[in-house]
Structure 1
C-alpha cells in the first residue's frame, strides 16, 4: 500500500468532530486494534474546511491515545499520510498521523459561537 504525504497547511482549519475512540479490528469480538509496538490505535473524526468551501470529515488513525482533545477544538495534525485501499468492489482512502494534538483555547461551542 503506497503512502501519500498530506500537506496539512493546505487543508485549512482542522477541528475535532468526534473525540478519540479506540479502533476496533474485529467487530464480532470487539478486539481493539494495536500497532506493531503494541500500542492501541485510536481514530479521531476531523473536519476539514478549505477557503470557505464545503466541510469534509475524515477519520484519522493514530497510535496511542491523543490527550486533551475535545469536540469542536482546533487540532494540529503531524505526519499525516493517506493510503488508497481496495477490497473486492470496495475502495477508499484512509488516513494515518504521527500525532494529533489540540490547539489550546479553540473549542467551538454548540451553536457555532
Structure 2
C-alpha cells in the first residue's frame, strides 16, 4: 500500500493518452494485448503477433485472409519467389494457430455463476 500523498489526480492529457492507447488496441480481427504505453513492435503484422487476440466473430475474415494467402503462394511458386513462399508459409502457420484458438473460444460454454453470497457461520452470523 502506498501512502495517500503519493496519489494525485490524473490530468486531462494523461487520461486522453490512456484512452487512446486502448482505442488503438482494437483492430479488425480483435484486440491487441500489448501493455499500456508500449508501441507495436511488429509493425502491425498482426497475424504473426503473439499479442493478437482474435475475436471468434472474425473467423470468416480469417478464412478470407487464408484464401488470399494461398492464391499469393501459388503465384510465388509460379514465379520462383522462394523468400515470398517462406514468408507466406510462416503467416499461414500463425493464421491457422490463431484460428484454432478463436474456434476454441467460440466453443466455450458460458456459465452463469450468479452473485456469490457468504454463508452464515455456526452462530448464524454472516462473515464480513
Which structure dedicates a bigger proportion of its chain to strand?
Answer: 1
Which structure dedicates a bigger proportion of its chain to helix?
Answer: 2
Greater relative contact order structure (CA < 8 Å, 6+ sep): 1
Scaled by the length of structure 2, the TM-score of the pair is: 0.19
Scaled by the length of structure 1, the TM-score of the pair is: 0.20
